[in-house]
Amino acid sequence: MAFKNYKILLKLILVLSLAISSCTAPPKRPNIILVMTDDLGWHDVGFNGNPKIKTPWLDSLASQGIILDRFYSASAVCSPTRASVLTGRNPLRMHIPTANSGHLKDGEITLPELLKKAGYTTGHFGKWHLGTLTRSVLDANRGGQEKFRSDYSIPSQHGYDTYFCTESKVPTFDPMVYPLTYEAGESKRYGWKAVKHPDSTQAYGTAYWTGENQRETRNLKGDDSSIIVDCVLPFIENAQEENKPFFTTLWFHTPHLPVVSDSVHRAYYPHSNLAEQLYYGTLTALDEQMGRLWQMLEATGVEQETILFFCSDNGPERRTPGSAGIFRERKRSLHEGGVRVPAFVIWKNGLEGGERMDFPMVTSDYLPTILDILDIPFPDDRALDGISVLKVLEGKADKRSNPIGFIYGSQISWVTDQYKLIGDESLENLELYDLIRDPSEKENVIQEYPKIAEQLKADLSAWLNSVENSKQGMDYH
């Protein structure tokens, strides 16, 4: 009898210990997906009012989450914006002023590095554009060329466990070969060039890389967005099997030139001209892959605990049918149309969905916001340009704590909750716009509000000095 009681006592102790451990175990950290499209205009999605382009999955996800009506890319072109996503910093601090220029430096502290230390499995898929991916063979814009040898910088150097990516652009269908020649007048109007081999067999001159000196050669035909998601889904499945939270940057090439779409997706737009069919078709193909991704999250039961951010890297390319809507200018401009991009966030377990938010946010805010969500301190005192917008997303704050600074070429701008000061690098030829009353930037009000302009100019000048100090390497210890 004593032995029997002893066994019962052991079972009770075991049950109690399991109960205590389950109560004290930290809650499972959310999965995080940062989706970025390439050259997608603010008005190129249904959730921002486009009446033609069919994006039902994006519209559904956006409506379930929070649509971010004043979300900015950190630059008017892609490479700098991508640097801001991973570092929380303006890209000029690390010498990435424009596309195909500079690289992500080893001294930068990146989001995947921080999350990997916190127990996440990390993956990057799609476009990289933060350095070359090979030193040994000619690839894309810079890879394998001696003059760009110092720009070698691959995802695994910056905290990624897994990657499948290209250095820069590829055709949005059959990404490894030149697209077919389109002779229609509308394609010429947008400057889309004919190619030497209309049989679509001439190599485009780039590759998908999966590791150092490792090129992928399989499953590279068809829609490029589908090819990318084909690699994302196994990454998520593996994370589930390992019972680890995952972090991934999913950076589509669509709809960057060369814009190519198959006949199936062009057929969705029978009343549009060829250039529009190509552009709209590749966006609908991307939308389908967003649906495929979300359905996979649902099938594995993790959609509730997954944070998904969606945005574009800059405004629409001038030589496409892309649209910035009511906003002034396009890609390569610091006016609203060049940097205000379509965006939303969905996190069913953490954020109330079903609303639009007119609060200025920027891609540099990703890092501090995600660290805030996970209660991870930033391990350094270097300058961050982004801020945590978690309280804003939770409806607990409505003022931005510091403005957003932009630098592209000779253009500079300084954006607050209400105003934009914009001009050239001399700080002499400045204009002021009230973005609340005049989001299209039609009326320069600098003569009406000279004191506001002077204060913004002083703040901008101080920020530019800070950026210059970073460029001199003063942030790296």
Query: For 54-112, what is each residue's pLDDT tens digit?
Result: 999 999 999 999 999 999 999 999 999 999 999 999 999 999 999 999 999 999 999 99
Q: Are 385 and 366 in contact (CB under 8 A)?
A: no
Query: For 121-164, what is each residue's pLDDT tens digit?
Result: 999 999 999 999 999 999 999 999 999 999 999 999 999 999 99
Pairing of strands 361-362, 209-211: unpaired
- Whole-angstrom distance, CA of residue 334 vs CA of residue 410: 10
Taking residue 69's Cβ as centre, other Cβ atoms within 10 Å add up to 18
Residue with tokens 């690098």: 425
Residue 134 to residues 27, 146, 447, Cα–Cα distance (Å): 40, 11, 52
Taking residue 185's Cβ as centre, other Cβ atoms within 10 Å add up to 9
Which residues share a beta bridge with 127? Answer: 166
Q: What is the DSSP string of 137-148?
A: S-BTTTBT-GGG
- Whole-angstrom distance, CA of residue 178 vs CA of residue 173: 9
Can you give the pLDDT of all 477 residues of the chain as single tens digits?
A: 454 554 454 444 444 444 444 444 456 799 999 999 999 999 999 999 999 999 999 999 999 999 999 999 999 999 999 999 999 999 999 999 999 999 999 999 999 999 999 999 999 999 999 999 999 999 999 999 999 999 999 999 999 999 999 999 999 999 999 887 554 444 555 555 444 444 557 899 999 999 999 999 999 999 999 999 999 999 999 999 999 999 999 999 999 999 999 999 999 999 999 999 999 999 999 999 999 999 999 999 999 999 999 999 999 999 999 999 999 999 999 999 999 999 999 999 999 999 999 999 999 999 999 999 999 999 999 999 999 999 999 999 999 999 999 999 999 999 999 999 999 999 989 999 999 999 999 999 999 999 999 999 999 999 999 999 999 999 997
Distance from CA of residue 95 to its chain's centroid? 19
- Nearest Cα neighbor of 228 from 173, 165, 280, 169 is 165
Task: Name the pTM for this structure.
Answer: 0.93
Positive or negative: CA dihedral 254, 387, 163, 122: negative
